[in-house]
Structure 1
Amino acid sequence: MKLVFCGTPAFAVPVLEAVIAAGHEVALVVTQPDRAAGRGLEVHLSPVKQTALALGIAVTQPDKIKNNLELRERLESIAPDAILVVAYGRIIPQWMLELPRFGNINLHGSLLPKYRGAAPIQWAVANGELVTGVTTMVLEAGLDTGPMLLARTVPVAEEETSEDLFVSLAAIGAELMVETLAGLEDGSVTPVEQDHSLATLAPILTREDGLIDFSRTARQSYDRWRGFQPWPGAHTTLRGKKLIVHKMKVFEGGGTAAGELLVDGDRLMVGCGEGSALELVEVQMEGKKRMAAAEFLRGYQVKSGERLG
């Protein structure tokens, strides 16, 4: 097939590489504009742009696409069989949806119709799902509401973070996209409507999502910490200052009151809901360095009975 590929982050790179390896022609890559980041405001190229340039593929980075006549004329001249959309980060306008023969094929990081939205992988982990997956679908105007093509399930390990899952789902998703394109070409894959009554949402993450609610059970808070890696992570307050929790685990012993600290030698625990407790393994006071619990206890003279939050 002749393809146009829309994508931006590292999650999309294996898909781009896989469709090229499978013999498809990627005539153009559409990715987000370069961003200045860091203290020196150094310009960073998106992972997809870096890959496309290395492969000798033409790249365009429009600021907007909805009413972009230049982009429209360029895509119409390419006349792609399909437009692949993988974590591009922009809403695809109707004219693009209607342009290719096979439509706009999206790789979504969940088993649709569950976890429609911007952060499906993070929310699946944060909610303690034991199984998730990836789905290829035909994009339409609604938010991840289009008909499904293929899906593949993936188990989620109890200690796996969303960062870990991003890597494995990207690789599996790349295989699934190649399989989807082959099935569309030979007619063995046809769109199937989602059961919209089963839909759940995975909204974009906010900094507030990382705030630890100690009324939740330890397992629930741990799952949210796993899901919200690397951002927004997990944080609370101690003595009126922000405390970032970089590493934690469920404490198998008994808990104390929700939000109350328990010091046991070099170990630091905090009570959670239903009599459970978390062990705080590595923490960081706002503006200070990261510390293992033992160093933190010595440096801040933390005592049992102090409260977080």
Structure 2
Amino acid sequence: MSASLRIVFMGTPDFAVPSLQALLDGPEEVVAAVCQPDRERGRGKKVSPPPVKVLAERHRIPVLQPESVRTASFLEEMQALAPDLLVVAAYGKILPQRLLDLPRLGAINVHGSLLPKYRGAAPIQWAVINGETETGITIMQMDAGMDTGDILLAVVVPIGRQETAGELFGRLALLGGEVLGNAVARLKEGALAARPQAHDLASHAPMLKKEMGHLDWTLPACRLHDLIRGLAPWPSAYGFIDGKRFRFFSPEVVPVRAGSPPGAICRADGQGLLVATGDDCLLIREIQPEGKKRMDAGSCLRGLRILPNTPIT
């Protein structure tokens, strides 16, 4: 029986947790976990550990949380761990080549898209925003670029027509762990063949910004439908009704011409808000008034009087 690989895992958020768990459940040895420092989170600004740290400490795995991965001291710590392989999943920073070259098997990454599509920080959200019908998990041999390394393994999954980025995020996180386990086993056996990415087909997935959620109702209903799903649960889509901000969820395209200007509420009832757009209408089934919980439209509208053609700005 071959010796266990010594693996250093690098990851920070929820997406990385199933990948770390897959390694912990497997035959290899996780000698350390590296994640971002504890940060303030939520409205209370409470300092909280990242999910990867919580899981690692539960399994008594040493945790490193450097502010920078480019210092000589961090490189020395990594050298002392003598890893055979570096596994990265949503760590949050680009790694220097000298770190990637340290393990004898190099470094592999669990990425939430079908590379070279959607390189960057938010591949899952942008796939939904852009109306893609499929995406997947790519296991990539890392280099010093932004998701530019050779592809080792890729698995395709469909995107549901009503699926949100949050729902897809959860599915791909679990799939990432499954595919990673397979990839590490095959890499250890020398049974994975790397293939270069087609760089001319690359697209980018930058971090989302809160202002992206302010809806432009002159867009077609199908584009707004994808945007609302892709921004859920964060930063979420929103607009203003009589000066008050409302967040919108669970959209449905209704292929009818409204005869009203884009953004006008054509109907408000238990089914939702039917809103005119640049092409067809959009039915909003769930609403979150400012300062309140997300709820179905019927519950929200019980105490809210909306006249025909009231605009959402």
TM-score bin (small chain): over 0.9
The amino acid that maps onto 1:270 is: V
Task: Tell me the alpha carbon deviations over residues 183-230 of structure 1, each in whole angstroms, 9 at most, x when there is no partner.
Answer: 222221122110011101111100121121212222221111111111
Counterpart-to-counterpart distance in 2, 1:207 and 1:296: 23
Q: 3-state DSSP class of the match of 1:300?
A: coil
Match of 2:55 in 1: 51
Q: 3-state DSSP class of the match of 1:110?
A: coil
TM-score (norm 1): 0.93
Give the one of 270, 277, 281 matched to 1:272.
Answer: 277
Task: Tell me the alpha carbon deviations over residues 72-107 of structure 1, each in whole angstroms, 9 at most, x when there is no partner.
Answer: 112112221111110111221222112111211111
Match of 1:41 in 2: 45
Give the one of 9, 32, 53 matched to 1:28.
Answer: 32
Q: CA deviation at 1:232?
A: 1.1
Counterpart-to-counterpart distance in 1, 2:310 and 2:283: 15
Match of 1:66 in 2: 70
Counterpart-to-counterpart distance in 2, 1:77 and 1:290: 49
Match of 1:243 in 2: 246
Counterpart-to-counterpart distance in 2, 1:263 and 1:304: 7
Q: Within 5 Å, which residues of 2 pair with 1:137-152?
A: 137-152=140-155
Q: CA deviation at 1:248?
A: 2.8
Counterpart-to-counterpart distance in 2, 1:221 and 1:265: 20
Task: Tell me the alpha carbon deviations over residues 90-130 of structure 1, each in whole angstroms, 9 at most, x when there is no partner.
Answer: 22122211211121111110000000110000010111111
Match of 1:163 in 2: 166
Q: 3-state DSSP class of the match of 1:43?
A: strand
**Residues 273 and 95 from structure 1, CA distance in 2 versus in 1: closer, same or farther, beyond 3 angstroms?**
same
Counterpart-to-counterpart distance in 2, 1:6 and 1:244: 34
Whether the aligned pair in 1 keeps the contact of 2:10 and 2:88 (CA below 8 Å) is yes
The amino acid that maps onto 2:182 is: E
Mind listing any 5+ residue stretches in structure 2 that lack a counterpart?
A: none
Match of 2:287 in 1: 283
Q: CA deviation at 1:39?
A: 4.1
Q: CA deviation at 1:11?
A: 1.0
Whether the aligned pair in 1 keeps the contact of 2:254 and 2:283 (CA below 8 Å) is yes
TM-score (norm 2): 0.92
Between 156-165 and 284-293, the greater mean CA deviation after superposition: 284-293
Whether the aligned pair in 1 keeps the contact of 2:32 and 2:61 (CA below 8 Å) is yes
Mind listing any 5+ residue stretches in structure 1 that lack a counterpart?
A: none
Match of 1:103 in 2: 106
Counterpart-to-counterpart distance in 2, 1:297 and 1:83: 52
Task: Tell me the alpha carbon deviations over residues 8-63 of structure 1, each in whole angstroms, 9 at most, x when there is no partner.
Answer: 11111111111222211111100111122234432212111111111111111111
Match of 1:75 in 2: 78
Match of 1:218 in 2: 221
**Residues 23 and 270 from structure 1, CA distance in 2 versus in 1: closer, same or farther, beyond 3 angstroms?**
same
Give the one of 11, 14, 34 matched to 2:18.
Answer: 14
Match of 1:204 in 2: 207
Match of 1:3 in 2: 7
Q: 3-state DSSP class of the match of 1:122?
A: helix
Counterpart-to-counterpart distance in 1, 2:301 and 2:44: 35
Counterpart-to-counterpart distance in 2, 1:89 and 1:82: 19
Task: Tell me the alpha carbon deviations over residues 273-304 of structure 1, each in whole angstroms, 9 at most, x when there is no partner.
Answer: 22x11112232343455554345445332111
Q: CA deviation at 1:140?
A: 1.3
**Equivalences, count:** 307
Give the one of 297, 306, 309 matched to 1:305.
Answer: 309
**Residues 284 and 14 from structure 1, CA distance in 2 versus in 1: closer, same or farther, beyond 3 angstroms?**
closer
Counterpart-to-counterpart distance in 1, 2:292 and 2:33: 42
Q: Within 5 Å, which residues of 2 pair with 1:120-131?
A: 120-131=123-134
Q: CA deviation at 1:250?
A: 2.3
**Residues 287 and 264 from structure 1, CA distance in 2 versus in 1: closer, same or farther, beyond 3 angstroms?**
closer
